[in-house]
Amino acid sequence: MKSIKVGLLGIGTVGSGTFNVLKRNQQEIAARAGRAIEITMVADLDTERAKKLTNGEVAVVNDANLVVNNPDIDIVIELIGGYGIAKDLVLKAIANGKHVVTANKALIATHGNEIFKAAQEKGVIVAFEAAVAGGIPIIKALREGLTANSIQWIAGIINGTTNFILSEMRDKGLDFDVVLKEAQRLGYAEADPTFDIEGVDAAHKLTIMASIAFGIPVQFSKAHVEGITKLQATDIRYAEQLGYRIKLLGITKRTAGGIELRVHPTLIPSARLIANVEGAMNAVLVRGDAVGDTLYYGKGAGAEPTASAVIADLVDITRLATADPEHRVPHLAFQPNAMADTPILPMAEITTSYYLRMHVADQPGVLADVTRILADSSISIDAMLQKEPAAGETRTDIIMLTHQTQEKNVEAAIAKIEALATVVGTVTKIRLEELG
């Protein structure tokens, strides 16, 4: 049986992980795939390092074009990252009739529509399981496993760095800055952690999942992206007292008016399985109309977990490539001519519950004023926590959990509450999802 020849663009952490797993498990993988799959060519600017990592067993070049133009290569793995060179090379590989595997969530979330169109026209496959939640086969689950369902919503912990930080903040009662430094020391956060802690990475992944779930084009620019940098240890503590944990969730939901697409810190009931996903682990909870809730849990990053997804894509391609192109799994789950133009809702239009914390003067009438404002806005209160002022303090915290309401509604009420003379500073607002 003819072996499948793979070219690798970029041999960093995931690239060398892929090379190593393919080699270590080559017999088992071939026994499943029915043919050998081998990396025969690697392009990397650091050719010396690339040669060392591949034990001199493969051709190493510093010009990626030599890989994408090589007629012997069947599949190109793109592990360069970013939107620039990576995009050019992916498009060149497609133009040359090669299938592509990529772990590049930024590329797919921003240029996926163009890339899939090119692939469709050329009759090749672009696979990207590794772009979302690392080794968890969530793309496959959404696109194939749950294909019978009308997906209603997805809520995912899809960034390990922020989940590690939030777990540590809760566990040890530490502030964000302190834990971030610790996470950097341990290698759970990068030297420049912006993409992770500001929610951009999670929003890339969420954007991809939303497209597959709802049959819409990728639209990263319309995602609401909010990270954890402003989250205070005190809110994690109050949430816990009320029976909730705070997670950075990517949430996408189908509603009558459109699709919600948002990444932000979220209170979820402590009893939910997903609330107990701690450390750098990822988990995605999916609600389908037929299957109900299913959850997928595992490592969302790292050399070999990501390699696991990259290699699964390689094997899938060897299979699907022999299928009639019209019978293949569509890139974004729905046939290109059956995609919907359902709008993405602006944040003002989304509906959820809220955690509100306000610092107030400890004097009669404050609570009456606040609850009157909420009632006038038709916002019902689900739970409340009022603390005794600390010794020598004349102010105290009031925490309220609301029932579901529209974001613009709660924003208007907050503006009124903040205008009260008895309320000090701003109201802290964190969204809350029951996921039940």
Cβ(264)–Cβ(431) under 8 Å? yes
Distance CA(103)–CA(205), nearest Å, equals 11
Nearer to a copy of itself, 98 or 143 (CB): 143
Q: Given candidates 156, 250, 258, 298, which one binds a copy of itself under the rule CB under 8 A?
A: 298
Q: Which is nearer to a copy of itself, 227 or 288 (CB)?
A: 288
CB of 375 to a copy of itself, least distance (A): 37
Among 72, 177, 192, 324, binds a copy of itself (CB under 8 A): 324
Strands 423-432 and 351-361: antiparallel
Q: Rounded distance, CA 314 to CA 316, Å?
A: 5
Q: 354 burial class (0-12, 13-18, 19+ CB within 10 angstroms)?
A: buried
| Minimal distance, residue 286 CB to a copy of itself, in Å | 9
Interface pick for a copy of itself out of 22, 68, 157, 180 (rule CB under 8 A): 22
Binding residues for L-homoserine: 190
Residue 205 annotated as catalytic: yes
Which among 130, 129, 126 has a CA at the least distance from the CA of 115? 126
Please state the residue numbers annotated as binding site for NADP(+): 9-16
* 136 touching a copy of itself, by CB under 8 A: yes
Residues shown for the chain? 436
Q: Which of 122, 140, 205, 299 is catalytic?
A: 205
Query: Closest approach of Cβ 321 to a copy of itself, in Å?
Result: 8
Give yes or no for residue 327 binding a copy of itself (CB under 8 A). yes
Helices (H) and strands (E) in the chain, counts: 15, 17
CB of 162 closer than 8 Å to CB of 248: yes
Instruction: Give, as ranges, the residues between 91 and 130 that touch a copy of itself (CB under 8 A).
Output: 129
Of 207, 318, 352, 377, which one interacts with a copy of itself (CB under 8 A)?
Answer: 318
Q: How far is the CB of 124 from a copy of itself (least distance, A)?
A: 15
* Number of residues near a copy of itself (by CB under 8 A): 71
Q: The tokens 């930080």 sit on which residue?
A: 165
Using CA atoms, how far residue 151 sits from 113, 128, 198, 389, in Å, is: 21, 20, 27, 46
Within residues 265-294, the interface with a copy of itself by CB under 8 A covers 273, 276-277, 288-294
Nearest to 216 by CA among 338, 351, 87, 126: 338
- Toward a copy of itself, which CB reaches closer, 242 or 275? 275
- Plot region of 215 (φ>0 → left; ψ -120 to 50 → alpha; else → beta): left
Binding test (CB under 8 A) with a copy of itself, winner from 329, 383, 384, 412:
329
- Identify residue 361 by its one-letter amino acid code: A
Specify the residue, 92 or 328, whose C-beta has the smaller distance to a copy of itself: 328
| Minimum separation from the CB atom of position 136 to a copy of itself (A) | 6
Measured from the Cβ of residue 131, the count of other Cβ atoms closer than 10 Å reads 26
The reply to whether 211 sits near a copy of itself by the rule CB under 8 A is: no
Indicate which residues carry an active-site annotation.
Answer: 205
